[in-house]
Amino acid sequence: MSIDMSQFYQVFFEESAEHLANMESLLLALDLDAPDPDQLNAIFRAAHSIKGGSGTFGFTDMTEVTHVLETLLDRIRKNEIAITSEMVDAFLLAGDVLRGLLEAHQNGSLADEAASLAIREKLQKLTAASIGAGNTKPSDVPAPTSKEPEVPAAANGQYVYQIRFVKNRTNFKKKEQLDNLLQALRDIGTISNQKIESNSVSLTLISSTSEEDLREAFMFFIKPEQLTLTVQDNPSVTNKSKTDDELGYGFFVDPENLKSDVENAQGYGFFVELENQPQPAASGQILQPEEIPQRRATDKAPTAATVAAETSIRVSVEKVDQMINLVGELVITQAMLAETVSGMDQVLYERLINGLAQLDRNTRDLQESVMSVRMMPINFVFSRFPRVVRDLASKLEKKVQLKTVGEGTELDKGLIEKISDPLTHLVRNSLDHGIELPEERIAKGKDPQGTITLRAAHQGGNIVIEVEDDGAGLNREKILAKAREKGIPFNDNISDADVWLMIFAPGFSTAEIVTDVSGRGVGMDVVKRNIDSIAGRVEITSRPGQGCTVTIRLPLTLAILDGLSIAVGEQTYIVPLSFISESLQPGATDIKNVSGQGQVVLVRGEYVPMIALHQVFNIKPKVTRPEEGILVLLEAEGKKVALFVDELVGQHQVVIKSLETNYRKVAGMSGATIMGDGRVAMIMDVPALVKLAQQ
Task: State the sign of the Cα–Cα–Cα–Cα dihedral 20, 23, 29, 33.
Answer: negative
Integer CA distances (angstroms), 692 to 37, 311, 528, 664, 668, in order = 61, 51, 18, 18, 7
Phi, psi values for residue 277, rounded to 5°: -120, 90
> 19 catalytic, yes or no?
no
Alpha carbons 150 and 161: distance in angstroms, whole number:
18
Q: Which one of the listed residues 19, 48, 425, 433 is annotated catalytic?
A: 48
Judging by beta carbons within 10 Å of its beta carbon (0-12, 13-18, 19+), is residue 200 exposed, middle or buried?
middle
Residue 469 bridge partners (DSSP): 452, 548
Residues facing 566 on adjacent strands? 573, 648
Chain centre to alpha carbon of residue 132: 42
Q: 94: helix, coil or strand? A: helix
Pick from 463, 458, 644, 600: nearest CA to 537: 463
Catalytic residue among 70, 256, 436, 466: 70
* Nearest residue to 254 via CA among 45, 560, 100: 45
Eight-state DSSP code of residue 273: B
**Is the distance from CB of 93 to CB of 23 less than 8 angstroms?**
no
- Does residue 353 contact residue 431 with C-beta atoms inside 8 Å? no
Distance CA 54, CA 61 (A): 8
Q: Which of 615, 433, 419, 407 is nearest to 512 (CA)?
A: 433
Q: Which of 666, 664, 661 is nearest to 685 (CA)?
A: 666
What does the DSSP assignment read for 185-196? HHHHEEEEEEEE
Q: Which residue in 655, 54, 683 sits closest to 326, CA to CA?
A: 655
CA distance 683 to 672: 5
Candidates 41, 171, 379, 429; catalytic one:
429
C-alpha span between 373 and 686 (Å, rounded): 29
Contact 79, 53 (CB under 8 A): no
48 given a catalytic annotation: yes
Alpha-carbon torsion 355, 357, 360, 361, what sign? negative
Q: CA 691, CA 668: separation in Å to the nearest integer?
A: 9
Under DSSP, the state recorded for 663 is S
Alpha carbons 91 and 61: distance in angstroms, whole number: 16
Q: Say how far apart CA 201 and CA 687 lie, in whole Å.
A: 69
Angle between helices 211-218 and 258-268 (to 10 degrees): 10
| C-alpha radius of gyration, the chain, whole number | 32
The CA-atom distances, in angstroms, between 372 and each of 326, 369, 398, 562, 593 are 15, 5, 40, 17, 49
For the beta carbon of residue 550, count every other beta carbon within 10 angstroms.
26
Q: Across the strands, what pairs with 206? A: 160, 190
Q: Which residues belong to the active site?
A: 48, 70, 429
